[in-house]
């Protein structure tokens, strides 16, 4: 928190926070002759594809995208739904009210000193963010080790950590709502096994920027007529 301000968060922050919370980290790899940075996860006893130097790639995809069989084992993360959560809403409140960066300090007609301009941020609207984390492998032993690793964080009453725009880390409740089987066996050479963890994060999304408002630097000298006070 810088100067009383709280940062902002949006969907990408939760995407990154989710995978980093279960242990994924950025690694520079070479794909198609280009160097890129991808998230990877180390799981003891599981060797990832060659381009990832034995680590397991963590891939962000849309729900309709198909998996890449040449990259098994792999972890695929898809965001399936974003739902408003009005029961956690604080209408009319605010997260902070602090002097604006461009404000000047003045003395009001009542003798008090303060800023000419303030920055005000309303409460961030709460949302439930649903993810499906697909843990895919060729062998059951690999799949079980991956599930055990990720399931330590994504369980029925877990927590993920997200960095906001101010660089501060926040914790959000994350609930594993189901663990489903992903086994598919077309041929022995092409088989895929694994599990899918459905996770609901009690998050929030900053759609609006903080507002700037001028402050009152002098008291009103206007005198209301007595008739207006008694309704005459």
pLDDT per residue as tens digits for the range 175-225: 999 999 987 655 545 678 999 999 999 999 999 888 777 776 554 445 455
pLDDT per residue as tens digits for the range 18-49: 999 999 999 988 777 788 889 999 999 999 98
d(CA 78, CA 132): 5
| Predicted TM-score (pTM) of this structure | 0.80
pLDDT of 18 reads: 97
d(CA 70, CA 140): 17
Burial class (CB in 10 A: 0-12, 13-18, 19+), 76: buried
pLDDT of 15 reads: 96
Closest C-alpha to 204, from 5, 7, 30: 7
pLDDT of 232 reads: 44
pLDDT per residue as tens digits for the range 95-126: 877 776 676 777 766 667 776 677 788 889 99
DSSP for 3-67, written as a single string:
TT------HHHHHHHHHHHTT-EEEEEEETTEEEEEEEE--TT----GGGTTPEEEEE--TTPPP
pLDDT of 87 reads: 92
pLDDT per residue as tens digits for the range 46-83: 999 888 989 999 999 864 455 555 688 999 999 999 99
HSE (side-chain half, CA atoms, 13 Å) at 122: 13
Whether residue 125 contacts residue 82, with contact meaning beta carbons closer than 8 Å, is answered with no
Whether residue 96 contacts residue 5, with contact meaning beta carbons closer than 8 Å, is answered with yes
Domain architecture of the chain: domains with CATH? 11-98+126-203 (3.30.2000.40)
DSSP for 71-129, written as a single string:
G-SEEEEEEEEEEE-GGG--TT-EEEEEE-TT--EEE-TTS-EEESEEEEEEPPPEEEE
In this model, does residue 136 exceed pLDDT 90? yes
In this model, does residue 229 exceed pLDDT 50? no
Whether residue 183 contacts residue 134, with contact meaning beta carbons closer than 8 Å, is answered with no
In this model, does residue 10 exceed pLDDT 90? yes
């Amino acid at each position: 928190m810088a100067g009383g301000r709280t940062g902002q968060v949006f969907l990408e922050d939760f995407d990154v926070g989710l995978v980093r919370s279960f242990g994924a980290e950025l690694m520079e790899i070479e794909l198609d002759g280009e160097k890129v940075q991808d998230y990877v996860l180390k799981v003891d006893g599981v060797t990832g594809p060659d381009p990832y130097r034995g680590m397991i790639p963590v891939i962000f995809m849309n729900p309709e995208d198909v998996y890449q069989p040449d990259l098994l084992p792999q972890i695929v993360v898809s965001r399936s739904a974003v739902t408003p959560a009005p029961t956690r809403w604080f209408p009319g409140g605010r997260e902070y009210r602090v002097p604006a960066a461009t404000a000047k300090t003045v003395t009001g007609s009542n003798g008090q000193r303060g800023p000419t301009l303030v920055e005000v941020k309303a409460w961030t609207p709460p949302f439930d963010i649903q993810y499906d984390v697909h843990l895919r492998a060729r062998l059951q032993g690999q799949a079980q080790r991956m599930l055990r690793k990720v399931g330590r964080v994504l369980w029925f009453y877990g927590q993920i950590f997200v960095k906001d725009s101010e660089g501060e880390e926040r914790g959000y409740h994350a609930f594993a709502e189901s663990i489903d089987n992903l086994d598919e066996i077309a041929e022995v050479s092409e088989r895929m096994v694994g599990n899918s963890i459905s996770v609901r994060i009690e998050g929030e999304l900053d759609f609006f920027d903080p507002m700037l408002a001028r402050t009152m630097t002098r008291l009103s000298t206007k005198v209301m007529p007595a008739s207006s006070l008694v309704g005459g």
